[in-house]
């Protein structure tokens, strides 16, 4: 009981700190809304301030004494908090539906597309926190197959931004190499523009030796497409096995295939199906985040989320921060015994 009370006390303290941080962000957005256009000379100044408050590299984002002090204090508080959280079960796999980037830009009257950039910085922060907490797998729903139906100029902007950010992952000083993050791109990658697909393959190759955290980026993905793909691949595999057995029968002078062997290849079981899932490189999800207060799964990881905690904060994705991650982990630890019982029943 004492440990539980300590967790909630620490959470309260951190919530106060992060609320003050959120207030600084709001000051920034008001400052922006009062006339500093994103295309003006102030753009870098604005985004540097935003990165200072919300960015992934808070400890190293400025030479001033204030920024270094802020970064050191922030890092110390996180480490202390994560040490307390690690007394209980720590989730192994977190998944995020990145909802609210466009609404965030509209809410603060930002230029179209700026919400996606703010969402990217929020993602880098969350990835850093997960690494420090000891979460092994992080999956994000970056772009659905259904998103291709949006306005062509919006799709083009997202593809350009994706290409730019993936190229950034290849840099030696990127957060992926800094924290030992291995990257997988999950989905029907053939649907992506060739330049995006090529740079995605390069990023997967460049990070294949990183061992700390695994980041799975779902692009051109839906769960139904994944299941159909796995079923098709399983059927093709079984068909190839049957054809190989028939060829072997012919070569052996007409030896008849046993009924046992025929039955073995007549049905597809769960193990066969899961072997061909795009998400086969990761375990089932422990916590699924859907920002903006939505509770729809939007055709995301339907197979892998049957025994997980669904966490739906009202914050838009660019507003997602440490306090949301901490609260979700506390809720996960509270329902962990129930989730474990459910998993044993499946």
pLDDT, tens only, 259-280: 556 666 667 888 889 999 999 9
Q: What is the pLDDT of residue 245?
A: 78
- Specify the higher pLDDT residue, 125 or 36: 125
- Tell me the per-residue pLDDT of 174-184, one tens digit each, with 9 for 90 and over: 889 889 999 99
pLDDT at 55 over 70: no
Instruction: Specify whether the CB–CB gap between 112 and 97 falls below 8 A.
Output: no
Q: What is the pLDDT of residue 342?
A: 93
Q: What is the pLDDT of residue 82?
A: 94
Q: What is the pLDDT of residue 174?
A: 81
Instruction: Specify whether the CB–CB gap between 119 and 104 falls below 8 A.
Output: yes
pLDDT at 21 over 60: no
User: Shortest CA distance to 91 belongs to which of 3, 8, 213, 270?
Assistant: 213
pLDDT at 150 over 50: yes
- Specify the higher pLDDT residue, 145 or 73: 145
Question: Residues 32-58: what's their mean pLDDT?
Answer: 42
Q: What is the pLDDT of residue 34?
A: 37
Q: Which residues are within 8 A (CB) of 86 and not within 5 positions of it... i.e. 6 or more apart?
A: 133, 134
Instruction: State how far Cα 225 lies from the chain centre.
Output: 19
pTM of the model: 0.80
pLDDT at 317 over 90: yes
User: Shortest CA distance to 272 belongs to which of 246, 248, 241?
Assistant: 241
User: Shortest CA distance to 182 belongs to which of 278, 303, 282, 98?
Assistant: 282
pLDDT at 44 over 70: no
Residue-range domains of the chain with CATH: 90-345 (3.40.1180.10)
- Active-site residue among 99, 225, 284, 286? 99
- Tell me the per-residue pLDDT of 99-141, one tens digit each, with 9 for 90 and over: 999 999 999 988 878 898 899 999 999 999 999 999 999 999 9
Q: What is the pLDDT of the chain when averaged over all its residues? A: 83
Using CA atoms, how far residue 31 sits from 34, 44, 118, in Å, is 5, 14, 16
Active site residue 99: yes
pLDDT at 201 over 70: yes
40 vs 94: CA distance, rounded Å: 38
- Tell me the per-residue pLDDT of 153-170, one tens digit each, with 9 for 90 and over: 989 999 999 999 999 888
Question: Residue 257 has what DSSP assignment?
Answer: P
Q: Which residue has the tokens 């593809």?
A: 159
Q: What is the pLDDT of residue 48?
A: 46
């Amino acid at each position: 009981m004492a440990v539980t009370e300590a967790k909630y006390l620490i959470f309260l303290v951190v919530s106060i700190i992060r609320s003050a941080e959120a207030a600084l962000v709001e000051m920034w957005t008001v400052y922006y809304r009062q006339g500093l256009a994103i295309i003006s000379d102030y753009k870098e100044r604005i985004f540097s301030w935003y990165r200072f408050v919300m960015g992934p590299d808070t400890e190293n984002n400025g030479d001033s004494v204030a920024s270094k002090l802020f970064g050191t204090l922030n890092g110390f508080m996180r480490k202390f908090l994560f040490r307390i959280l690690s007394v209980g079960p720590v989730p192994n796999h977190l998944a995020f539906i990145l909802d609210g980037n466009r609404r965030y830009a509209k809410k603060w009257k930002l230029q179209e597309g700026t919400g996606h950039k703010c969402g990217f910085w929020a993602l880098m922060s969350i990835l850093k926190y997960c690494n420090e907490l000891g979460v092994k797998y992080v999956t994000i729903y970056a772009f659905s197959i259904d998103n291709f139906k949006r306005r062509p100029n919006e799709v083009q902007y997202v593809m350009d931004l994706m290409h730019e950010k993936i190229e950034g992952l290849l840099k030696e000083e990127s957060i992926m190499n800094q924290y030992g993050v291995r990257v997988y791109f999950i989905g029907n990658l053939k649907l992506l523009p060739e330049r995006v697909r090529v740079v995605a393959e390069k990023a997967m190759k460049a990070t294949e030796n990183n061992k700390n955290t695994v980041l799975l980026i779902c692009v051109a993905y839906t769960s139904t497409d994944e299941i159909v793909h796995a079923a098709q691949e399983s059927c093709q595999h079984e068909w190839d096995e049957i054809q190989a057995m028939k060829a072997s029968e012919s070569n052996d002078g007409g030896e008849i295939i046993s009924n046992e062997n025929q039955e073995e290849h007549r049905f597809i079981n769960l193990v066969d199906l899961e072997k061909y899932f795009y998400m086969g490189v990761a375990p089932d999800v422990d916590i699924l985040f859907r920002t903006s207060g939505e509770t729809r799964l939007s055709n995301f990881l339907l197979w892998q989320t049957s025994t997980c905690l669904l966490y739906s904060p009202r914050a838009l994705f660019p507003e997602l921060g440490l306090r949301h991650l901490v609260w979700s982990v506390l809720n996960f630890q509270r329902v962990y015994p129930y989730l474990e019982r459910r998993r044993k029943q499946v």
